[in-house]
Chains A and B, each alone.
Chain A
Amino acid sequence: MIYLRNRKTKETEVTLAEDPNYTISISKENNKIAVKNRKEWLKQ
């Protein structure tokens, strides 16, 4: 991939990386202890 910089007018190559962001979600596994802990935590 090629870029041209506006200050120094030079081309740059960029190698993309893996996205470091995480996705947090409620597990689909029905672990009874974990579900109970979550309910206590969220006071549901």
Chain B
Amino acid sequence: MKSLFSILLTICSTFVFAQNTSYTISFENAGHHEATIEIAYTHLKDTSLVVQMSRTSPGRYAIHDFAKNVYHVKAYNSKGEPLHINRINPQAWEIQNHDGAVTVSYTLFADRADGTYSQIDETHAHLNIPATFMFAPSLSDKPMEITFMPRADLNWKIATQLPLKEATTYRAPNLQYFMDSPTELSNHSTRSFEVKGQEIEFVLHHDGSEKMLDTYFEKVKKIVLAEEAVYGELPTFDYGKYTFLACYLNHVSGDGMEHRNSTILTDKEGLSEGGMEGNIGTVSHEFFHAWNVERIRPAALEPFDFEDANMSGALWFAEGFTSYYTNLILCRAGLITPEAYVSGLNGTFNYVWNSPARQFFNPIEMSFQAPFVDAASSIDPVNRDNTFISYYSYGSVLGLALDLSLRQKGLDLDTYMKQVWATYGKTEIPYTIKDLNAVLNAYAGTDFGDGFFNTYIYKSEMPDYKTLFETVGLTIEQDSKKKYIGASFNNNLVSRNTKIGTPAYQAGLEKGDEIISVNGIKPRGNQYNRKSYEWFKNWGFKDDILKKQENKRDRGDVSGRP
């Protein structure tokens, strides 16, 4: 009895004295990109409360320092009396001498809508949670509530993966889930369909027609089903629902960002402006992440760090193999033709295999650079043209090589992905690269599995694509007549670092160099030089680039020309 009483007392104490966190956000000054945020903390045990803004955002690996857009920070005790605040570092505020309850309020400025940042204006409140809300690290494991105050005068509705408590109040079981739950408040449209008892919801904020959305949603449905077929099942979404949060508006920034039960999709192109075809690849990519990276999860990303950059050597798989499936799924779903799919391989293939960067880093080491390249910003020049290959692209062409190699053995990448899913995804056991190697060994044999990883993942050798392509009736050719200089130009200036081993590099040309003459032919002031054009064309300039330059000239936009 004593034991039972003790247990009951503990349960009651936990219930009565649980530390609570309740957020409220409102948008009275949306026209100037501001939100007002209040956080009510109650039943605080410690005499000091530290709150901070995140430095990072789930799915992004660089540091973004969201505290830079926070100001007018105030704190009050339970009686409404102001409390002193210490700014203890650039991200954090400390409040002492409270009475067990603290209300923190602040103003947020936000004007970039994508998968990393937030944007508040009179069209929407596009909220990426780490870019919006402070948090108390000491309460990270506690549940929390968030009440959104949508602008009724602007007909805003709320879309989010957070479970609804009541009215406009939502719940989050802990900080990790809260931070992973972007929310869109706007006058958006919604479509949904059911797959084996789970709801797939597509929310679109745009200025196009409902009919266009209907057409687009049919494509989304085909993608969902084609990706389900790869793994044999959908993930079990935490609240029985997966939500696409799409904003296709001219004032947003193009992006896609995966989350556990939702994704952000942003693009400047509306459905009637090319987005019907141009935006659909991001739908395919981000939904594939519901398996690969959200649940088939690199161990290095668990738990996600909100106070420092997140580095993983597995992004060639998490992002790269997802990129391989991005267009493959569009083809399988009948949304692009096989010819278009194959043609689409060219750009990525040439980018990866003509890059000098493979001599410096393998795919794992390329992945390690994500904190420097994944929407990261710095002001000093870098030599990335020579030292970095995107792990999206690198992993994509390795996924292609692995798939075609497996098919030579009567196996395929879909089955390998299913086995990774069964072992590490469905079970949600974070994996290491050795684990991926082991699953491949078990599926295709040790010689094959170790051969692939030792040659292409731990080293950076190039698979025999010519032979692999022949097995599926593809040809790969080079045009020996086409000439190549290996430099990029913006008007008469070398616009990027020249690539190691190219004629331009060997000749000592470098970014910023100005072309004064070509074979003695000089550009004349701001006048377009036809002969110069011909020489540029011979260097391998793409015609479309030249046309753009011609168009610029025709509009009189010739600033910067010598």
Contacts and interface: CB of A to CB of B under 8 A. Distances in A.
A16 to B, nearest CB: 4
A22 B507 contact: no
Contacts of B508: 5, 12
B473 A2 contact: no
B478 A3 contact: no
Contact of B476 (A4, A18, A24): A24
Interface in A1-32: 1-7, 12-27, 29, 31
A19 B540 contact: yes
Interface stretch (B41-49, B83-91, B197-205, B515-523): B515-523
Contacts, number: 145
Contact of A38 (B338, B476, B513, B517): B338
Interface residues of B, number: 57
B470 A34 contact: yes
Given A16-B483, A41-B403, A44-B338, A24 B507 contact: no
A41 B331 CA distance: 10
Nearest to B347: A21
Sorted nearest first, the 8 A-B pairs with minimum C-beta distance are A4-B516, A34-B473, A19-B482, A6-B514, A19-B484, A38-B472, A43-B332, A16-B483
A24 B475 contact: yes
17 contacts: A3-B509, A7-B513, A14-B503, A15-B507, A16-B483, A16-B503, A17-B483, A17-B502, A22-B346, A24-B476, A27-B474, A29-B473, A34-B470, A35-B473, A38-B473, A38-B474, A43-B226
B559 interface: no
Given A13-B507, A17-B502, A25-B477, 12 more contacts: A2-B520, A5-B509, A5-B513, A16-B503, A18-B484, A22-B477, A24-B475, A25-B475, A27-B475, A34-B471, A40-B407, A42-B338
Nearest to B341: A42
A13 B473 CA distance: 42
A37 to B, nearest CB: 5
